[in-house]
Amino acid sequence: MDYPYPIKIRAVWWENNQVCWIDTSKLPFEEKTYCTDEPERLARAIITMEIRGAPAIGVAAALGVAAYAIKIASSNREEFINRIEDAIKTLWNTRPTAHNLFWALTRMRNTLRSAAEGLSTNEIADRLRAEATRIMDEDIRANIRMGEYGAELVPDNATILTHCNAGALATAAFGTAEGIMRVAWYKGKKIKVIATETRPVLQGARLTVWELMKEGIPVTLITDNMAGYVIRKGLVDLVIVGADRITREGYVINKIGTYMIALAAKRNNVPFYVVAPTSTIDLNSSIDDVVIEERDPNEVKKVLGKPITLEEAKALNYAFDITDPDLVTAIITERGIVKPPFPENLKRIARGG
Ligand code: MRU
């Protein structure tokens, strides 16, 4: 595939009829890649965050369904269809918050059901492969489009604060928030980035710093609780983050800690931009319907696997939080920039422009 910018890092890809990924849980210390055509193995990779980031898990799940369909294409028709439906359910139940997972699996299920009428198992598997690789390609192209729209909002010499990792490692490639940084950088803007470490899984420290350093974009790491002070001190010109789900009212669900950054940005008149493909917009959900993932408290009680508190200590581990629409300056999608009022404008953009 041809893209207008270099694609240097891929989080998930299609190879030899399998879904492959770089294990982001080991980065930046080890660069391990894996491939599978087994839904259970892929589900484990998503749950344990070898693959993470809303668009990446959607793309991986779609490719995983296609790989499995190709693998079992010699089964009899009924068994073939039932086993693929089961694989979709297995992947559906991995992580509850990112909308892209359900969006991608719904596309795969719709493809299966429409192809099931009259086609052979091999032909159905082929349709599923075509749909999954299309989802992957669309994701990369959407990131590039968002990068182009978003780069217009970035002044030369700007310092951008970002949280978690909304980069190539969270998408099929290129990234959403980091996609904007890439395009701004390739266009010659002398940007600098401040990355929060993003406790407890450290996506900022491990992934964003690794990704931006590879790109040559200047990046400075801070602890999560420095964000308020650096914003107040005037060190940040704009905040750019990704999203796991955007509800029809314009609430943004993103990595835990995003809300506090949005509050500090609002208080200090710093623009707060959210970058997400339309596959993250969930017009069917209001904020009360969204499930915020709670992960194993042991993630909080350890740093990189090392205990930081008493073994019997209690801990809470919410993976995401909710940012109110009035804290968001604009939402950048592949179809354009969405400004308030979000309920009307999100509906228009999600339905096609
Ligand atoms: O728990 P994670 O690492 O999957 O959370 C990822 C985020 O919160 C990202 O900001 C979001 O998925 C957007 S990625 C383009």
Question: What is the pLDDT at residue 301?
Answer: 98
Ligand 1 pocket check for 204: Cβ under 6 Å: no
Contact between 346 and 285 (Cβ < 8 Å): no
- Please check whether residues 205 and 237 belong to one and the same domain: yes
- Please check whether residues 138 and 183 belong to one and the same domain: no
| Residue where one domain finishes, among candidates 92, 124, 144 | 144
Residue 74 Cα to ligand 1 midpoint, Å, equals 37
Residue 117 Cα to ligand 1 midpoint, Å, equals 37
Question: What is the pLDDT at residue 86?
Answer: 98
Give CA separation, 143 vs 151, 178, 187, 260, 269, in Å.
12, 9, 16, 26, 27
Residue 339: which CATH number?
A: 3.40.50.10470
In a domain, 2, yes or no: no
In angstroms, the CA 151 to CA 185 distance is 9
pLDDT tens sequence across 4-48: 999 999 999 999 999 999 999 999 999 999 999 999 999 999 999
Give CA separation, 138 vs 39, 74, 253, 279, in Å.
23, 30, 22, 10
Token look-up 């991986």 returns: 60
| Residue where one domain finishes, among candidates 115, 144, 173 | 144
pLDDT tens sequence across 104-161: 999 999 999 999 888 999 999 999 999 999 999 999 999 999 999 999 999 999 999 9
Residue 257 Cα to ligand 1 midpoint, Å, equals 12
Which residue puts its alpha carbon closest to atom 8 of ligand 1? Answer: 255
The predicted model gives 209-213 an average pLDDT of 98
Which residue in the list 244, 296, 321, 324 is annotated as catalytic?
244
How many other CB atoms are there within 10 angstroms of residue 142's CB atom? 24
- Please check whether residues 346 and 271 belong to one and the same domain: yes
In a domain, 292, yes or no: yes
Q: Which atom of ligand 1 is nearest to the CA of 167?
A: 15
Q: What is the pTM of this model?
A: 0.97
In a domain, 273, yes or no: yes
Statement: residue 353 has pLDDT above 80: no
Sign of the C-alpha dihedral, residues 169, 327, 239, 304? Answer: negative
Domain of 229?
A: 153-350
The predicted model gives 302-316 an average pLDDT of 97
In a domain, 205, yes or no: yes
The interaxial angle of helices 121-151 and 99-115, nearest 10 deg, is 150
- Please check whether residues 124 and 167 belong to one and the same domain: no
Ligand 1 pocket check for 295: Cβ under 6 Å: no
Question: What is the pLDDT at residue 352?
Answer: 87
State the total domains in the chain: 2
Residue 188's contacts (CB-CB under 8 Å, 6 or more residues apart) are none
- Please check whether residues 94 and 53 belong to one and the same domain: yes
pLDDT tens sequence across 268-277: 999 999 999 9
- Please check whether residues 122 and 181 belong to one and the same domain: no
- Please check whether residues 98 and 207 belong to one and the same domain: no
Ligand 1 pocket check for 164: Cβ under 6 Å: yes
Ligand 1 pocket check for 270: Cβ under 6 Å: no
Q: Which atom of ligand 1 is nearest to the CA of 177?
A: 15
- Please check whether residues 261 and 303 belong to one and the same domain: yes
In a domain, 54, yes or no: yes
Residue 102: which CATH number?
A: 1.20.120.420
Ligand 1 pocket check for 54: Cβ under 6 Å: yes
| Residue where one domain finishes, among candidates 103, 126, 144 | 144
- Please check whether residues 160 and 294 belong to one and the same domain: yes
Question: What is the pLDDT at residue 296?
Answer: 97
pLDDT tens sequence across 46-58: 999 999 999 999 9
- Please check whether residues 287 and 253 belong to one and the same domain: yes
In a domain, 4, yes or no: no
In a domain, 268, yes or no: yes
Which residue puts its alpha carbon closest to atom 2 of ligand 1? Answer: 53
In a domain, 318, yes or no: yes
Question: What is the pLDDT at residue 17?
Answer: 98
Task: Quote the percentage of the chain above a pLDDT of 90.
Answer: 98
- Please check whether residues 173 and 242 belong to one and the same domain: yes
- Please check whether residues 89 and 160 belong to one and the same domain: no
Statement: residue 241 has pLDDT above 70: yes
Give yes or no: 23 in active site. no
The predicted model gives 59-84 an average pLDDT of 97
Residue 124 Cα to ligand 1 midpoint, Å, equals 32
